A and B are shown apart, each in its own frame.
Chain A
């Protein structure tokens, strides 16, 4: 996340990071990548439960798709073996492709749903796939029209 300073032309409200909520992994079905869909209490007043749970469930679906052992992954393995893994220099793995989809999805969710509610979701890959970090921002109130104020921005993909 980067904090940028802007020169305000008019009265503008800014947000500041107030808290972070961490959605932990759900290990009930093994070490496959799954996140808990339990709605954290800190977000009760910030976002609808259904929206949040939909986001987490979609992410879980993405990760399940990425880790699925099937034809594509087998083919990829064989190809890699055959080329002495030189294929990895040219082509990105299936998992990486899904990760890109996930990043795009998170970016879209942030823009459409979470940022208007003062929240930001951080891609779990940045945290080692251990947690989904939800940043909660608070309205700091109006800032002066003259000097700079900080607006919080978040990066959703790396």
Chain B
């Protein structure tokens, strides 16, 4: 008996088979000894040989049925069922010739039982094409030995019939010798054969029926195909043919091991893949997709395309995961400038009409009109500046030379755009650089250096001293103290102005001009008219502290100072990367603006007043140079921003922080009083940018998902590598592997951290999309990407 199960080896299990064997062999032997001689003499001499052959056949089949492996399936290795544990579904459906057949999970053997396979409880193993466990042979009847079992039954039936018949003939002919030995033995033999003939005949007929219907005993007894179609039948004749003539299936257990060693040694060949995007490290240290390195002119073209769209243009393609990782890696502390560049970059150019209006000294243009006007202007300057601006925060940390070399834009109106983007960058960098946006600025805001790159490039353009860069750098990245020390007082200007705006009540006077539409909306007052041109160059003749002085009731340059004011305001209010559209509010009265700003920034009371004091000490010339520098670098940034906007959204930054719906959410959540006069302006800005950003943010969920997936598959830190079985096995088993769960756990952990602190981007799960740096301001939006990531991760891995 090949069975190794405990039950099969029990002594009681051998009783039936021993009984059957004894009966069979004994009775037949008696028949041959006592009856056959007379039969050979009387009826035919061929009778005994035939009976002997028949009996031999019976014995052979009996032996095969008893000792042959029925088709035992070996237990699956643990590698195979790693992902199927207790979480695997009990059944797995498979389609066989159009009929849905259920494959059940075998808990003992750790695999899904193939169709027609069943687990024998007596032998404790799964048998292929399991028929039944026959006690008379103490063996499972399955695929390999069903033929022998059937033939045994068949031959046994014939044998028993023959023995009974010939014995009866003998008995009938020897009725006179009732008490002779031969007679008695023959009578006993025919009694036994006659007694067991009926059950054996019944069993044979039953199996004949099963074979004709193409079923197994197991299927017949469980009624699997009673009412339905049996996909395994091939017709009566073919079934019979298959029964008799099919090749014998090989044995699976205990096969002779012929181990042939195959050495697997690296290096490994890899197939050529097209989808791998080469990561290119630009001169500025930014990791960008190689394909997205279009020329700035291409970026200009893209920008023009973008500008022509009324609504935010369609979202860019998902950045490469590697790109995300590289960005995450490149994100230094506090510099989460590699945020996604929202598609609403064109908003800066869209604001050009506003700037023009401001420069003309006209009344503030409603934001809606600004939108339209800006869209009409197809100009690459804005995007270039944006791109250049975008680089600045990234570069600030690395303090490398920025390779941004955007073409100079002599457009005076455009010159104010750099202010906008700069303010955006400042806002962005400030927010990322510190948990509390403004407080960080106030403390170390001066020490930032992100715009350094821009400044260095702008140096080429503006021929300005390197001293001019610090202020802007500080403006962008307020969290680098060491830079501040290298810089000078001038750098404090903008930050102080910023801080002044941020702190409640610290704003002395709002900048009288160059305010964003937000500010315009805030105060609803026309900014004080300015004599100077709206361009930044006008700043040269201004007071040393343009922005802050605006608050101090001085006369800062319209564009930049207004931007700063607005930036501070929005920064304080939303602590988001709201880029004030860069429209300078010129006609706003200083006092009214200050009041409105104070209201807006009431929640942020972190700006120290010392910054303002420092700001006041700067000389006019320094401020003028700073402003000029800023203007030029702004242009550069915009150029680069647009150049990269198409393919590099997840990269840098953030300086070009366009307020998204998420970023604006805190605004709405802010004190209602402070928002009283502003709603329309905010609304317009929201309309400008939020949809683009929001869509982008949502779209980056799959990006984060993919990045998460990549991390999940790649890391496998939380589970054995073998747990990531083949996709087919995963799909078949219909269950997400534990890495999926682990990744979701990681994400879950990452979510709160990113929610709590902005600058923790680097510390959070690197798979988190960059826009989670908006976390503080966009708390409401965070659960979505996180959950989305988790769900998608789980689903994808399933």
A residues contacting B by CB (< 8 A) are 2, 12-15, 17-25, 27-31, 36, 38, 40-42, 44-48, 66-69, 73-74, 76-77, 81, 84-85, 93-96, 99, 103, 107, 110-111, 115-120, 125-131, 133-134, 137, 139-140, 151-158
Report chain B residues within 8 Å CB of A84: 56-57, 59-60
Q: Are A27 and B101 in contact (CB under 8 A)?
A: yes
Q: Are A76 and B73 in contact (CB under 8 A)?
A: no
Q: Are A128 and B265 in contact (CB under 8 A)?
A: no
Q: Are A77 and B96 in contact (CB under 8 A)?
A: no
B249 to chain A, nearest CB (A): 7
- Tell me what chain B mostly uses at the interface: helix, strand, loop, or mixed: loop
Report chain B residues within 8 Å CB of A13: 265-267
Known contacts A107-B262, A139-B266: A21-B726 contact under CB 8 Å:
yes
B729 within 8 Å of A (CB atoms): yes
A69 partner, pick from B63, B96, B246, beta carbons under 8 A: B246
B676 within 8 Å of A (CB atoms): no
Report chain A residues within 8 Å CB of B242: 69
Docked CA distance A133–B22 (Å):
46
B245 within 8 Å of A (CB atoms): yes
In the complex, the chain A residue whose C-beta lies closest to that of B254 is: A158
In the complex, the chain B residue whose C-beta lies closest to that of A109 is: B262
Report chain A residues within 8 Å CB of B261: 2, 153-155
Known contacts A25-B114, A28-B97, A120-B264: A20-B79 contact under CB 8 Å:
yes
Which of the candidate stretches B189-197, B269-277, B367-375, B778-786 sits at the interface with the other chain? B269-277
B131 within 8 Å of A (CB atoms): no
Known contacts A22-B725, A125-B255: A28-B262 contact under CB 8 Å:
no
Q: Are B266 and A40 in contact (CB under 8 A)?
A: no
A18 to chain B, nearest CB (A): 5
Interface string of B50-67 (1 = CB under 8 A from A): 000000110110011000
- 6 pairs from A and B in contact (CB 8 Å cutoff): A21-B725, A84-B56, A117-B270, A119-B264, A130-B76, A152-B263
B residues contacting A by CB (< 8 A) are 56-57, 59-60, 63-64, 73-74, 76-77, 79-80, 94-97, 101, 111, 114-116, 128-129, 148, 151, 231-232, 241-242, 244-250, 252, 255-271, 273, 721-722, 724-729, 732
Q: Are B260 and A130 in contact (CB under 8 A)?
A: no
Q: Are B262 and A95 in contact (CB under 8 A)?
A: no
In the complex, the chain B residue whose C-beta lies closest to that of A116 is: B269
B264 partner, pick from A22, A36, A151, beta carbons under 8 A: A151
A130 partner, pick from B73, B241, B244, B258, beta carbons under 8 A: B73
Docked CA distance A67–B261 (Å):
28
Q: Are B80 and A133 in contact (CB under 8 A)?
A: yes
In the complex, the chain A residue whose C-beta lies closest to that of B81 is: A22
Known contacts A19-B721, A130-B111, A158-B255: A153-B726 contact under CB 8 Å:
no
B705 to chain A, nearest CB (A): 16
Q: Are A24 and B732 in contact (CB under 8 A)?
A: yes
B728 partner, pick from A36, A44, A125, beta carbons under 8 A: A36
A93 partner, pick from B151, B247, B266, B269, beta carbons under 8 A: B247
Q: Are A27 and B115 in contact (CB under 8 A)?
A: yes
Report chain A residues within 8 Å CB of B60: 84-85
In the complex, the chain A residue whose C-beta lies closest to that of B53 is: A84
Report chain B residues within 8 Å CB of A152: 263-264
Q: Are B244 and A77 in contact (CB under 8 A)?
A: yes
Which of B232, B246, B269: most chain A CB closer than 10 A?
B269
Known contacts A74-B245, A137-B264: A2-B725 contact under CB 8 Å:
no
Q: Are B241 and A69 in contact (CB under 8 A)?
A: yes
Docked CA distance A22–B244 (Å):
33
Docked CA distance A127–B257 (Å):
13
Report chain B residues within 8 Å CB of A19: 721-722, 724-725
A157 partner, pick from B80, B259, B267, B268, beta carbons under 8 A: B259
B262 partner, pick from A25, A68, A127, A156, beta carbons under 8 A: A156
Report chain B residues within 8 Å CB of A12: 265
In the complex, the chain B residue whose C-beta lies closest to that of A124 is: B252
In the complex, the chain A residue whose C-beta lies closest to that of B64 is: A85
Report chain B residues within 8 Å CB of A14: 265-266
Report chain B residues within 8 Å CB of A118: 264, 266, 268
